[in-house]
A and B are shown apart, each in its own frame.
Chain A
């Protein structure tokens, strides 16, 4: 079972920042927040992950609240190619049994970037 809650869908104007929220109120101290996306008819693609601190890479920024119960993925300048389903996933930071290896995908947020 997915341990995250995301809006079903969102729209964003091309060139604007896309802010995708995720609630993970039951997250434990050793669990990372991961973001993947799946563009239509392609395999999931890693975007970014974080534990406590905010993170930024060439694709996106990840803002994690101080209590770690929610986070926001930010695509600073959305393009049409960013239209995809975005998955927020909580994973343990240390392996402890078979379940720690897997990615458990929820329903994700379908982001539509509009021209």
Chain B
């Protein structure tokens, strides 16, 4: 059973396109996150959602928007893709969004912008 899943695993697209990455968790967790891992392998938080409310939003371009249709899903929409958006994007979830919660990560989506 996959706890946190992401689709697609690989995404290759042209500059200027709009794309979405989907994330689903079957753990019954209240909070979900998106992280970005760049070419230098640094992992940085982008967003988190708790009960459909955005609770943190790091300094990412507004071309990126998280959307949560229900508690089990947090999708990442990216408009007007740029070369610098190429990275691996990880979705994660945690039980209550508490500072002490353990986060569980998905397998990642490798986005390549040409």
Give how many A-B residue pairs fall within 8 Å (CB-CB): 67
Number of chain B interface residues as a range: 20 to 34
Task: Contact check, A43 vs B108: say whether CB atoms are below 8 A apart.
Answer: yes
Q: 11 extra interchain contacts, Cβ-Cβ under 8 A, other than A43-B4, A102-B56?
A: A41-B108, A42-B107, A43-B107, A49-B100, A85-B41, A96-B99, A98-B56, A100-B99, A101-B56, A101-B98, A103-B35
**A residues at B contact (CB < 8 Å):** 32, 34, 38, 41-46, 49, 85, 87, 91-96, 98-105, 107
Q: How far is the CA of A44 from the CA of B104 in the complex (A)?
A: 8
Main secondary structure of the interface of B (DSSP, over half): strand
Chain B residue at minimal CB-CB distance from A85: B41
Which residues of B are found within 8 Å of A91, using beta-carbon distances? Answer: 99-100
* One of B13-21, B42-50, B66-74 contacting the partner: B42-50
| Cβ-defined contact, A95 with B98, below 8 A | yes
Q: Let me know if A45 and B56 touch, CB within 8 A.
A: no
* A-binding residues in B (CB < 8 A): 4, 31, 33, 35, 41-45, 48, 55-58, 90, 92, 97-100, 102-108
Given the interface pairs A95-B98, A95-B99, A100-B99, the reply to whether A43 lies near B56 with Cβ below 8 Å is: no
Closest to B97 in A: A101
Please indicate the chain B residues that have their CB under 8 angstroms from the CB of A46 in the complex.
Answer: 102-104
